[in-house]
Homo-oligomer: A and B are copies of this chain.
């Protein structure tokens, strides 16, 4: 069994390391961490190995203060990943996860406005500009679907929200929902 994994660094920089905290402070003062506040309020751990997409969506739906209009537990209305059961049966998600298109469908049918950016549909420059604008706004959030291999991490396809942007070093903060595996980390865009 495993107690976490060692975060391959470089390329990633651990959020709570001295360098990670310094990057955070610089990005905060520069104004690119506005979205971070609402997201960290809702930072959660995916409940199942294939639920990274659902956990990322529950986090963002709660960060956007969307009322699920159905109860979670007791008398409270709240998004939990197990409540995201439209678009694709939860049992199938448990086995195979979801695609970017299914994630977008799930976010929409739960009340979010969604703009989808499949790989290849924007240039890096356009994507960078969008990341920067969203991280400064506090009213929109980005969920990325990426391969862990690009960062030398174990595993492959993964979803997580972006918690901020560091302009001078061109780094994004990945709020990795597999919190039993890797801590949040900065990676190059």
Contact = CB atoms under 8 A, between A and B. Distances in A.
B42 A179 contact: yes
A119 interface: no
B29 A41 contact: no
A41 B179 CA distance: 8
B40 A1 contact: no
Contact count band on A: 35 or more
Interface in A1-41: 1-4, 15-16, 20-21, 24-25, 28-29, 34, 37-38, 40-41
A184 B38 CA distance: 10
Question: How often does this chain occur in the complex, in copies?
Answer: 2
A41 B183 contact: yes
Contacts of A48: 73
Interface stretch (A75-83, A106-114, A128-136, A144-152): A75-83
A15 B41 contact: yes
A74 interface: yes
A49 interface: yes
Nearest to A5: B76
8 contacts: A3-B77, A16-B38, A16-B41, A21-B37, A41-B184, A42-B179, A44-B45, A77-B180
Given A1-B76, A1-B77, A40-B43, 9 more contacts: A4-B65, A16-B37, A16-B38, A16-B41, A21-B37, A41-B179, A49-B73, A76-B181, A78-B179
